[in-house]
Amino acid sequence: MKYTKFANTNIELSKIGLGCMGMSAAYGEDKDDKESIATLERSIELGINFWDTADIYGKGVNEELISQVLKNNRDKIFIATKFGFRMPNDTGNSFSGDIYIDCSPKHIKEAVEKSLKRLKVDVIDLYYAHRIDPNIPLEDTIGAMSELVKEGKIKYLGLSECTADELKKAHDIHPISALQSEYSLLYREVEKEILPLTKKLEITFVPFAPLGRGLMSNKLDISSLSNNDFRKNLPRYKGEYLENNMKLSQALEELAINKNATTAQLAIAWVIAQSDNIIPIPGTKKRKYLESNVGSVNLNLDSSDLEKIEDILKMYPNVGPRYSARENKFVKKS
């Protein structure tokens, strides 16, 4: 494993983290807690020391699952979780029905206590606002988060899916250490403003879905997705967009084979190669995919490789919006 500095600290984090959402939410009913726990344990063996979760993933179930491994490995893991998404009466499935954003100081104080309890930790290393609440002044949200630092309940602040202006404003109130957003061969909007800004401000950029939620693995069988897998409702998984993305993945596989790598490893390595402040968090609930993903850390892409990838992307530009209308209302850009 290779390691990199976290933000402007002396903390060394693995060059690839582990996204844990799929172990408990979003990707259908194919859940296997035993295999998920084995995957968490294997990640430690492979040198990963950065896990990512959120209170909305399975309505807290994901945090509780992680705690089973975290309790005996607390000194080995830098744990990140998030607050902000809520459901009416906190009922229902986290990826169905009505959800809304609440980043009020009152909710933040309640949410952190629940996450600490579920994770069974005394302090959360990195605490994200999962989205920016349009109904709450940013000063109030960041102010409440900074109070948690003073109280010793969290160490570092993070934001997810914000604009460059929001990031600058928040960073002026209290240092922001991490910015999380989707970033992959299928979604590069962050290259315009967000990624350069994080580098300038010494903020770690944490891309989720670096494989385009599986599309860039060239292994995904769309017909195998269960009815409640939320990807079935995403534009990229339908019609002409899906056809384009399958062809793109297949074209990338040819280059990957020449590099003695898988398409997934190539896609993640491309993300890592874009900036030295990047730590992607590909998600998986199976050891075999985890082990494959880790291989991307040692896949070196030279300028010729990167140019070839750009040429391939130009051939298949019709990747589609990343979210449906329902999910898209929670992000600044599609």
Q: Tell whether the model's pLDDT for residue 334 goes beyond 50.
A: no
Q: Which tokens sit at 302?
A: 């030279």
The average pLDDT across 53-62 equals 92
Query: Taking 80 as the threshold, does the pLDDT of residue 77 lie above it?
Result: yes
The string of pLDDT tens digits covering residues 242-263 is 888 889 999 999 999 999 999 9
Nearest to 39 by CA among 68, 13, 15, 7: 68
Q: What is the mean pLDDT of residues 234-242?
A: 79
Please give the structure tokens belonging to residue 65: 């699952």
Tens of pLDDT, residue by residue over 90-135, are 544 444 557 889 999 999 999 999 999 999 999 999 999 999 999 9
**Residue 57 among the catalytic residues:** yes
pLDDT of residue 94: 46
Query: Which residues does 265 contact at the CB level (< 8 Å), separation at least 6?
Result: 256, 292, 293, 295, 296, 299
pLDDT at 25 over 90: no
Q: Average the pLDDT over 173-198 and give the result.
A: 97
Interatomic CA distance for residues 191 and 203, integer angstroms: 15
pLDDT of residue 227: 66
User: What pLDDT, on a 0 to 100 scale, did the predictor assign at position 156?
Assistant: 99
pLDDT tier, 216 (very low <50, low <70, confident <90, very high otherwise)? confident
| Cβ atoms of 191 and 185 closer than 8 Å | no
By the 8 A CB rule, do 217 and 228 touch? no
Q: What's the pLDDT at 228?
A: 63
Q: Decide if 280 contacts 210 (C-beta within 8 A).
A: yes
Checking if the pLDDT of 30 tops 90, the result is no
- C-beta atoms surrounding 1 within 10 Å: 12
Cα–Cα distance for residue pair 94/103, rounded to 1 Å: 17
DSSP 112-181: HHHHHHHHT-S-EEEEEESS--TTS-HHHHHHHHHHHHHTTSEEEEEEES--HHHHHHHHHHS-EEEEEE
Per-residue pLDDT band at 175 (split at 50, 70, 90): very high
Lowest mean pLDDT among 16-20, 123-127, 183-187, 225-229: 225-229
Please state, in angstroms and as integers, the Cα–Cα distance from residue 264 to each residue in 218, 260, 284, following that order. 7, 12, 12
Which pLDDT score, from 0 to 100, does residue 16 have? 99
Stronger pLDDT, 322 or 135, i.e. the higher one: 135
Kindly report which listed range (28-32, 157-161, 198-202) carries the lowest average pLDDT score: 28-32
Which CATH class name applies to 3-213+271-300? Answer: alpha beta
Query: Looking at residue 230, what is its pLDDT?
Result: 60
Q: Which among 168, 173, 266 has a CA at the least distance from the CA of 218?
A: 266
Percentage of the chain modeled with pLDDT above 90? 76
In angstroms, rounded to a whole number, what is the distance separating the alpha carbons of residues 53 and 20?
A: 6
Q: How far apart are CA 36 and CA 162, in angstroms?
A: 30
91 dihedral zone (left: phi>0; alpha: psi -120 to 50; beta) = beta
Check the CA dihedral 259-264-269-271 and report its sign.
positive
Helix/strand/coil for 313: helix
Structural tokens at position 145 = 């988060």
Q: What is the pLDDT of residues 252-295, one digit of tens each?
A: 999 999 999 999 999 999 999 999 999 999 999 999 999 999 99
Q: Determine which one of 3, 27, 57, 289 is catalytic.
A: 57
- Cβ atoms of 54 and 81 closer than 8 Å: yes
Tokens of 284: 């998986």
Give dist(CA 239, CA 50) in Å, integer. Answer: 36
